[in-house]
Chain A
Amino acid sequence: MSTRVDPNFKNTLMGYGRGDWNECFHCGNCTAICPLSENGFLFPRKGLRAIQMGLKDKLAGYVDPWLCYYCGECSETCPRDANPGEMMMTLRRYLTSVYDWTGLSGRLYRSFAAHLTVVFFLFAAIITSFLIFADFSIPANAEGIVEINKFAPHGLIASLDHILLGTLSFFLLTNILNMFIKVIIKDRSVRIPFSMYFIHVWEAIFHFLTQARQLKCEGKRTYWFSHWFLMSSYVIMFILIIFFLDWFQTDQIHPVWHPQRWLGYYVTAGLIWGTIYFMIGRYKKNKEMFKFSHHSDWIFIILLFLIAFTGILIHIFRLNGMALATYVSYTLHLAVEVPMVVTFVAFSKWSHLAYRPLGLYFANLKKAALRKQYNMQVAPAV
């Protein structure tokens, strides 16, 4: 089988992150120091080699970037300052754009202006539609509580949510299918028995829920906690507003011990903690993985932070009967939420939430199949 070489691949990749990949002299330090790298899935050096050689097609089916959690050990000890950790991050961005068949992802990644334009366009669209369709003059009720459902009925918002969910799910699922084709189907070296797909699926679920693999990166427990707290908060928020909006967005004030209240607090706390942790880190550049920030990283955390922040504002204004302030915060809340979801879920950084567990799943499938094929001694990754 022939391998196609793209000599300009390095330049293509430049838009997705910072690249010092010409520096690498292949000493193998990064692969050996990596706590996650193992036989069969050797990274990051192999990726650097593929980039230097311009093996574009091979990289498209490369699952290893999703197995890396960027502890930064490789970049810290790299004798050439080639930054292999950032290379893996860059490849994750690139692979996201490879899986995305619409081509939108690549545009958002390569151009800060394009991403910003889309965000501002959606932001303006939400605000305009609220200004046109919503009534900002509804007063608070007799008990001094602002009734949001009168301003924005949960049924209407939920159905709009479902339309958004349907569209984005379509894109995300087709992207995942694309990933599956590139990683599994096109890899002729391994044949995966059908039953294996079911045996290993728990690994993907377990990993998605715990992100325990990240704990293998030594000394990154705060990082793991912050990341997991942020992720779990976001997932809960997502489930609440997509499937249980009628329960979540009520005008009835529940007591503090009620799940609706403390779930809301948990989500807010997670988002605020996580986003501030990452913002401080990225600003101070105090860890290897924060040393380089792509524009998608910044837009992502800032939007997430604003979502949590406007959420808190809604809560405070509503309880204090400040009707107009509540409606304005609610409008802003949606106006940052929608661009965040639209640009990031299927086309940019947020999709790693799906690709990471799937990447691990595919890797484990391959490993198990290879083990069966060659009776190889390869330990499964957890």
Chain B
Amino acid sequence: MNNEVKTGVYFCKYLNGHPDSLSLDELVSFARGMPEVAIVWEPAGLEIDDPGILASRIRENQLTRIVVAGDRSGYVKPAMSKALALAGQDPASVVVASFREFHATRRKDMDLAKAILACAILDVPFELAALPDESEVNTDTLIIGGGIAGIQASLEIANANKKVFLVERTGTIGGHMAMFDKTFPTLDCAACILTPKMVEVGQHPNINLMTYCEVKGVSGEPGNFKVTILKKARRVNLATCIGCGSCAEKCPAKAPSEFDNGTTLRTAIYIPFPQAVPNKYLIDAESCTYVKSGKCGVCVKICPVKDCINLDEKDEEVEITVGNIIVATGFQVFDATRAEQYGYGKYPNVLTSLEFERLVNAAGPTGGYIRYRGQDKKGNWIFSPDNDEPRSIALIHCIGSRDENYNKYCSRVCCMYSLKLAHLIKEKIPDAEVSEYYIDMRAFGKGYEEFYERIKEEGVKIIRGKTASVKESNGQLLVRSEDIHQGRIIEKKVDMVILAVGLEPRNDADKVAEMLGLERDKDGWFAESNYLADPTATFKGAITIAGLCQGPKDIPDTVAQASAAASRVLQSILRGKVKKDLSEIPLDTILKNARQFSPIKIEE
């Protein structure tokens, strides 16, 4: 029976000439080298448009089955089926070897492509032949990044009674969400949702919270990673600090506050914000007078706890062993100085949305009153509670997003947070004139369209047209835009401009990707293994991604993805085993497996 099976391999033309293609010649010679193959057609060697001719070629080679190999081999399958039928063979015995599967083309992985081809030739499902080895899994998990995604994932795993190391670069967890005033579309206070979770993380017995730490290196294999963590010198003893704040009262050195996005100043010994977890002080070495010049030490003298502050503390490295890693490193906002036409950095009252988010927050620089930004005595731009309130505010959408000059993609959250900010302005200054300039209004989520309608009813002017420039005119800001619905140019004088800046991958995302062996997509976000079906898994075994580092998304989606990532981790912990990388399986092993399972046997 078996010796009647004769296989022909046809390579589609799509593989040829594709800029990122695999080497066609190598694949052809590999196919020729397989004893199971009767004939190999290169793209030019076969006219596939005419089933009649195709059938005669099949008949003269006495083929019984065809393997169609290529990038888009599915397109050729119907023609081959028809030709097989015309040649008197089973039309169903066409097997497709698509190199797009398992991203062989994209990763330019020749061995993977050969394995896919061999499995198709041998009529064995690839997954059967290429079963990844499984290794024992360490039940501890490392989570990189303490934003809402990292917090959510940590709690999911820790609540399942598994141990978590949560590593955060700054002095507190909370991330960007802690900086927001309200959330859309429910207008809940962001802190009211986030801080209970933060406190839960801080107190959880299963979570080893490592703030002011950075992951320096990862080695080992899935299920058993050796992770080197740099513990940056906090210079304040986490165990003994009581968070009284007397050190900060006397500290002479000042630096812009990261948490307030540079809108306020903080001291060199500081707590990022009052609800920080852990609620302990730390010293910023870059601005501390003692670290810079060796003279000062006021904080040590004032501290009521003995030996709590150690100004000479050095960075140290610790090594931990974990089974799984969740990457939740988040994003940074677009640097608005890059788009010079909007005058950010030139005019004090052109703000980014994140700055305005702090300004409008009750714990922000002005206690939640919307005020002009002016200069203090030293020339710093600060919001002062003594200033007047602006009467008219313009919000400009799509700064750095949907723009070929910066980022081509839509940042997804800006439309909604701009509407939210418009609402907050109307809430605080009811008679203020608020106008929004947008390209397209993307109110895509549950309750978002209703929110948009509500904001329109509140009297916010919504103007379709991308603002071209912001200029100063008699102490006010002149916003020039085309009103596309009205068909006219509008130049509006406003007191304050808020730029809805887009989201970008972090500057050091490339280093993180290199360290963990992750891939990045064309926009620089970490690549998921399958956007639709597997958005948390990566190509690396036991490393999952969650939150903004995978792509722009809002808070509900981030939380959902974090939970999904946690479920992936728990899955492997519960099974006690974790799959190794596909790319680590040698080609010979796959070939051996495939021949073992194959129904096609060659008689020696």
Contacts and interface: CB of A to CB of B under 8 A. Distances in A.
Interface of A: 25-33, 37-39, 42, 45, 77-81
Given A77-B341, A78-B404, A32 B466 contact: yes
Contacts of B507: none
B468 A79 contact: no
A32 B465 contact: yes
Given A77-B405, A79-B403, A79-B405, A29 B488 contact: no
B481 interface: yes
Contacts of B9: none
A27 B439 contact: yes
B468 A77 contact: yes
Contacts of B440: 25
B518 to A, nearest CB: 29
Interface string B572-604: 000000000000000000000000000000000
Contacts of B464: 28
Contacts of B379: none
Given A42-B487, A45-B482, A29 B404 contact: no
B467 interface: yes
Contact of A39 (B467, B480, B481, B489): B489
Nearest to B406: A79
Nearest to A77: B341
Interface string B406-449: 00000000000000000000000000000000011000000000
Given A27-B439, A42-B482, A32 B404 contact: no
A18 to B, nearest CB: 16
Contact of B489 (A38, A79, A80, A81): A38
Q: Which of A28, A33, A39, A42 has the most CB of B within 10 A?
A: A28
Nearest to B469: A33
B189 interface: no
Contacts of B454: none
Is the contact region of chain A dominated by helix, strand, or loop, or is it mixed? Answer: loop
Contacts of B106: none
A81 B440 CA distance: 18
Given A28-B481, A79-B403, A79-B404, A39 B488 contact: yes
Contacts of B403: 79
Nearest to B402: A79
Nearest to B400: A79
A380 B465 CA distance: 25
Interface in B469-493: 469, 480-484, 487-489
A337 B483 CA distance: 48
A77 B465 CA distance: 14
A33 B468 contact: yes
B398 interface: yes
Nearest to B484: A28
B341 to A, nearest CB: 6
B484 A33 contact: no
A308 to B, nearest CB: 39
Q: Which of B464, B469, B484, B488 has the most CB of A within 10 A?
A: B484
A28 B465 contact: yes
Contacts of B484: 26, 28, 45
A28 B482 contact: yes
A30 B464 CA distance: 14
B497 to A, nearest CB: 14
Contact of B465 (A27, A37, A80, A81): A27
Closest 8 CB pairs of A and B: A28-B482, A32-B468, A33-B468, A27-B466, A28-B465, A79-B403, A31-B482, A27-B439
Contacts of A38: 489
B406 to A, nearest CB: 8
A80 B401 CA distance: 11
Q: Which of A29, A32, A78 has the most CB of B within 10 A?
A: A32
Interface in B276-308: none
A31 B480 CA distance: 10
B391 to A, nearest CB: 23
Contacts of A39: 488-489
A33 B483 CA distance: 13
A29 B488 CA distance: 12
Given A27-B465, A77-B341, A32 B482 contact: yes
A30 B480 CA distance: 11
Contacts of B405: 77, 79
A291 to B, nearest CB: 14
11 contacts: A25-B440, A26-B484, A27-B398, A28-B466, A29-B466, A32-B468, A32-B489, A78-B404, A79-B398, A79-B403, A79-B439
A37 B465 CA distance: 15
Nearest to B485: A28
Contacts of A27: 398, 439, 465-466
A336 B398 CA distance: 52
A135 B351 CA distance: 78
Nearest to B491: A32
B346 to A, nearest CB: 16
Nearest to B403: A79
Contact of B439 (A25, A31, A45): A25
B466 A81 contact: no
Nearest to A39: B488
B481 A80 contact: no
Given A28-B466, A37-B489, 13 more contacts: A25-B439, A26-B484, A28-B468, A29-B468, A29-B482, A32-B465, A32-B466, A32-B468, A32-B480, A77-B405, A78-B404, A79-B466, A80-B404
B468 A42 contact: no
A29 B438 CA distance: 11
Nearest to A38: B489
Given A37-B489, A42-B487, A81 B404 contact: yes
Contacts of A28: 464-466, 468, 481-484
A33 B341 contact: yes
Nearest to A46: B487
Q: Which of B341, B466, B481, B484 has the most CB of A within 10 A?
A: B466
Q: Which of B405, B464, B489 has the most CB of A within 10 A?
A: B489
A39 B487 CA distance: 8
